[in-house]
Structure 1
Amino acid sequence: MTSPNNLINVDARLVAANTKFGFNLFNTLSKQQPNKNIFISPTSVALALSMAYNGVSGETKQEMTKALELTKMSPKAINAANHNLQKSLQKDDPKVQVSIANALLVRQGFSLKPEFLQINQQYYQANLTEIDFESPQEALSIINNWVSEKTHGKIDKIVTKINPNTLLFLINAIYFKGNWETPFDQSKTANKTFYLTDSSSKQHPMMSQMGSYRCYETETFQAVSLPYGKKGALSMYIFLPNSNTNLATFSQQLTPENWNKWMQEFRVKSGMIEIPRFKMEYEVQLKDTLIALGMAEFFGGLKTDFSPMTDSQVAVESVKHKTFVEVNEEGTEAAAVTVIEMTRSMPAFEMNVNRPFFCAIRDNTTGTILFMGIIVDP
């Protein structure tokens, strides 16, 4: 796949993998959070996990390869493709801005292996910054200031506390701002009825315009592509389930195969569109979602093999994702941050019975203690 702006070759296998992973992630979240606003950046999550992917081995790597839909690519090809993708996404259009940043923020004195560092710096421009985590307020300020700067202030906080065992944050940030190719006339925006999933309704500002649009209609939905900027390299695609169905039913059709097929079916038609003006923030912990996608080993604590990353015993504490989006008459502004927090790998419970101890045998149904004793010399 070649970008017309800068002729950077982007590996189509990575685009296909990211599309599959993105829909898997989105559909799993939709099931976990029914009837809730959801707004994610699959690209941000995939890039953050790709950085971590360079630090895992064994079964963990196999699970991540499958969950990220990367089975057809070698690690070297994945990194090279991600590098080209990030460069290609930077659009040569004064009315469209896309910026991507990655970082490795580590506790002072914590050592990462040179190859892991070199790969993430070369392919993801993820510069290493040592931070004094013993001064938590200062550390939080450094981390969140980085996030705020990279998202142009749209996400000003992602980390709220420094765990005493935290060793490393792998962070991706994406910022997007695009003006519509054809802006909406503010004077035509008016409060109109918006129907909610529980059959109730509310009055909400609706933007409207007439023109020619790339559209697609089926028996179950209507869709429109609203381009940004002068070159239309980026668009917002809006899919509206028909009134005789609903979003949950439509979501069942939302597969990579259908998506790719639908993208080929859009045709230019004249007409009128009316869409809501909206602004929202979304935040989610992705641990349970990623485990549901097959990445249990990634969160496996002592079992997880992070030997390509460090000689220390480390574990994934959390994967946090936060987004912002505002859609108005001028266009769209959106931002996303994904943070993977790594901590010292501590056993959940460790007990070494190597000195005198008390023991009892209890019937847990009745509470009867059948035996008890002290063992001083086994």
Structure 2
Amino acid sequence: MNRNTILGTLGVSLLLFLAGMVSQQEANSIHSVDPVGSNSPSSQLIADRAETKTQTSQLASANNRFGFNLWTQISQQQPEANIVISPSSIAIALAMARNGTDGSTKAEMTTVLELDLLDPATMDNSYGKLIENLKTADPNVKLAIANSLWVNRDITLKDSFVNNAKEFYQAEVTNLDFADSQAKNTINDWVASNTANQISEIVDSVSADDALYLINAIYFKGIWAKKFDVDATVEQPFYTAANDSKSQPMMSQTGDYRYYQSDRFQAVRLPYGEKEELGMYIFLPQETSSLAEFNQQLNYDNWQEWISSMRSRDGKITIPRFKLEYELDLTESLSELGIEQVFDSSQADFSAMTDLSVAVDGVKHKTFIEVNEEGTEAAGVTSIGIRITSVQTENESFKMNVNRPFFFAIRDDITESIIFMGNVIEP
């Protein structure tokens, strides 16, 4: 595989999509989050979201299957590392890039993205509905998604590809002089603006040999439905994977939660916002097990079974306050899953995008997450560079002390889309 054929930067989701529009004024600390809206959603909005769920359920399932497949690759490569990815952002970004491919290159991406069973004629429209539905999930939760195409002014893209990106993915399209040293700063300024300045750079350099960058950004800011009492937060030991311990601020509260327990783990859901449609799912392996063993069992089918098994239970939850940043080049992981031709100048078919011979040079993914007593703030960016080539008992209360490595996921329960997922080895 010729890595010199395609230039790219990897952002927080997977390949092209940078989601998340937020103004710098909305980039305030999680400690001072203002609700996005004070009015309850109208009955029409609720009905629209219910209809959208029906229309996009198959797409959301495909995105989640792909996300778990990718997670398996990454967690096996970095078993002892903190990991945070945005599978929704990655899947959407790749889907937008897929529209520029044709032939066996397109078939390869379709299969890896688990899109084979979807109707090609309505697929992009379903993505558009899914994006809009996620952005309007809860007036008290900020979930912003943004996409952009940054095109070398000397390059001509096909109208059908550009119009598709604009219409269904709401992508901004900008022509730049890639020979200008300031082009990189222009792109990165957009990234910072659309992630509330939590991710300030995704593109390291821009060259006249680059054809375009496809970028997706996602920004999430949610207040817990029930905030943690700051006065209840105390320093307690957190035991890392190496069985060492470190002092960590631990937040605690009691209440009624969606909960599930097996002989391998405990799982709890902590809801966000007024409507509680979005929530953080925390999976804590039992002391007789490990996070590595849990990750071996983590796949789409098991996930669905575990989520459906959760029941309302009274209990006490203790979780660490934490803040993580993560960066990864996804090229190897995507290649292992079967997306190979886009990286190979001798095979990549981007004829639906341009008449030029181009290929992907890399995929860069960056994420950020902070969890505290108020709620959660998270951001992810994915950048793809395209370069020109020459070619239990339910009534019993529970206790769950998350004082050792754990897995988490932030999920929209209406569309069932997983927005972020991660391993916390050392908060």
**Fold conserved (TM > 0.5)?**
yes
What one-letter code is carried by the residue in structure 2 that aligns with 1:219? D
Structure 1 residues 319 and 274 mapped into 2: Cα distance closer, same or farther (>3 Å)?
same
Alignment of 1:1-378 (within 5 A): 4=46, 6-7=48-49, 8-9=51-52, 10-91=55-136, 93-136=138-181, 138-346=182-390
Question: C-alpha offsets along residues 277-304 of structure 1, whole Å, 9 cap, x if unaligned?
Answer: 0111111000000000000112111311
User: Partner of 1:303: helix, strand, or coil?
Assistant: coil
Distance 1:320 1:245 in 2: 33
The CA distance in 1 between the partners of 2:138 and 2:340, in whole Å, is 41
Q: CA deviation at 1:255?
A: 1.0
Counterpart Cα distance in 2 of 1:237 and 1:285: 26
Relative distance call for 1:118 and 1:90 in structure 2 (3 A) is: same
Aligned residues of 1:302 and 1:314 also touching (Cα < 8 A): no
Q: Assess if the C-alpha contact under 8 Å between 1:5 and 1:92 holds in 2.
A: no
How many angstroms apart in 1 are the aligned matches of 2:241 and 2:45?
Answer: 39
SS of 2:156's equivalent? coil
Q: TM-score, normalised by structure 1?
A: 0.89
Aligned-residue offset at 1:190: 1.1
| Alpha-carbon distance between aligned partners in 1 of 2:330 and 2:123, rounded to the nearest angstrom | 22
Partner of 1:325: helix, strand, or coil?
strand
Aligned 8 A contact 1:225 1:237 in 2: yes
Q: Distance in 2 between matches of 1:42 and 1:197?
A: 25
**For the Cα contact (< 8 Å) 2:152–2:208, is it kept in 1?**
no
Provide Cα deviations, 1:199-230, integer angstroms capped at 9, x if missing partner. 11111111111111110101110000000001
Offset at residue 23 of structure 1 (A): 0.2
The structure-2 alpha-carbon separation of the partners of 1:86 and 1:319, relative to structure 1 and needing over 3 Å to count, comes to same
- Contact 1:106/1:168, CA 8 A, preserved across alignment: yes
Alpha carbons of structure 1 residues 61 and 197: separation in structure 2 relative to 1, 3 Å? same
Q: What SS class does the counterpart of residue 4 from structure 1 fall into?
A: helix
Unaligned 5+ runs, structure 2: 1-43, 392-427
Q: Which whole-Å deviations, capped at 9, do the CAs of 1:169-201 have from their partners, x for residues lacking one?
A: 001111110000000011111111101111111
Q: Is the 8 A contact 2:187 2:203 kept in 1?
A: yes
Letter paired with 1:167: A
Distance in 2, matches of 1:217 and 1:163, equals 53
TM-aligned CA distance change 1:306 to 1:48, over 3 Å: same
Distance 1:299 1:76 in 2: 26
Q: Give the distance between the partners of 1:94 and 1:296, measured in 2 at CA.
A: 41
Structure 1 pair 70–92 and aligned structure 2 pair: CA distance change class (3 A) = closer
Task: Give the superposition deviation at 1:3.
Answer: 7.9
Structure 1 unmatched ranges of 5 or more: 348-378
SS of equivalent to 1:264: helix
Query: Alpha-carbon deviation of 1:91?
Result: 2.7
User: What is the root-mean-square deviation of aligned Cα atoms in Å?
Assistant: 1.4
* Distance in structure 1 (CA, Å) of the matches to 2:285 and 2:390: 48
Aligned to 2:271, the other structure's residue is in SS state: strand
Structure 1 Cα separation of the partners of residues 309 and 162 of structure 2: 44
Question: 1:28 and 1:336 mapped to 2: Cα distance?
Answer: 19
1:195 and 1:201 in contact (8 A); partners too:
yes
Alpha-carbon distance in structure 2 between the residues aligned to 1:76 and 1:343: 29
Amino acid paired to 2:110: T
The SS at the match of 1:183 is coil
For the residue of structure 1 that corresponds to 2:361, the secondary structure is strand
Tell me the CA shift for residue 31 of structure 1: 0.8
SS of aligned partner of 1:159: coil
Aligned-partner SS, 1:301: coil
- The separation in 2 between residues aligned to 1:11 and 1:85, in whole angstroms, is 6
Letter in 1 for 2:316: M
Equivalenced residues, count? 345
SS at match of 1:302: coil
Whichever of the two has the greater Rg, that structure is 1
Identity of aligned pairs, percent? 46
Deviation at 1:5, TM superposition (A): 6.4
How far is 1:83 from its partner?
A: 0.3
Q: What do the CA deviations read for 1:28-53 (whole angstroms, capped 9, x no partner)?
A: 00011121011000111111111111
Could you tell me which amino acid in structure 1 is paired with residue 125 of structure 2? A
Quote the residue 2:417 is aligned against: none
Structure 1 position 75, deviation (Å): 2.9
SS of the counterpart of 2:346?
helix
Cα distance between partner residues in 1 of 2:233 and 2:331: 40
Whichever residue aligns with residue 84 of structure 1, its letter is K
